[in-house]
Amino acid sequence: MTTTELALGRLFDISLGSITTDAVAAAKTGLRFHMKGCAGVTIVAVKATDAGTTDDFAADLNQHTASTGGTSTDLDIVTDYFSKTETTLDGDETWVRTTQTAASEITAVAGTAELQGIFVIEVAASQLADGYEWISLNMPDLGSTDVQWYTILYIPWGLKAERKPENLPDWLA
């Protein structure tokens, strides 16, 4: 059987923003993603939960002038984000659009503490300030003794150069 790439490398790529980590232990700085080679990125945060957890989902979007170091600042563009939540995600959830005043933060999404969830933020490269080419999604220190596991994926789209998956760029460089 022969397989060919239908979308990966042609329409989108996938990059890691943060390996699965406990956001209650300390704030988690997401890996920086370079926006130069794409029109935008869909950021997907997946939240697990433990029974008795009291911390709701929260995140902070930043822009940077360099892959490391440089200048970092809030990226105050999040006016809408999407979520699916349920006690146990099993594919029958519907997307919920949440609208807020433009900000870099999604603060404590009420009622999500004991739920599993998928949270999506979309960022267009054109939304970054002049001189900024990298973004990161950070998870704040949730500050309790609970356990709250997160994984963050960056899904760039509108690739400026379509390539075979094995020839896609290192987005974190």
Instruction: Inform me whether the pLDDT recorded for 1 exceeds 50.
Output: no
Distance CA(46)–CA(83), nearest Å, equals: 10
33 or 10, higher pLDDT:
33
Note the pLDDT of residue 76: 96
Confidence class for position 57, pLDDT limits 50, 70, 90: confident
Residue with tokens 């699965």: 20
Residue with tokens 């794409």: 38
Tens digits of per-residue pLDDT, 13-45?
888 777 666 555 556 778 899 999 899 999 999
Contact between 156 and 38 under an 8 Å Cβ cutoff? The reply is yes
Determine the distance from the C-alpha atom of residue 73 to the mean position of all C-alpha atoms in its chain, rounded to a whole number.
16
pTM of the model: 0.86
Question: 135 with 33: CB under 8 angstroms?
Answer: yes
Under the banding of pLDDT at 50, 70 and 90, the label for residue 143 is low
Domain boundaries, the chain: 15-158
Q: How many Å apart are CA 4 and CA 11, to the nearest integer? A: 14
pLDDT at 144: 63
pLDDT at 2 over 60: no
Mean pLDDT of 153-163: 89
pLDDT in tens, 59-116: 899 999 999 999 999 999 999 999 998 888 899 999 999 999 999 998 867 667 778 8
pLDDT band, residue 53 (cuts 50/70/90): low
Residue type, position 16, single letter: L
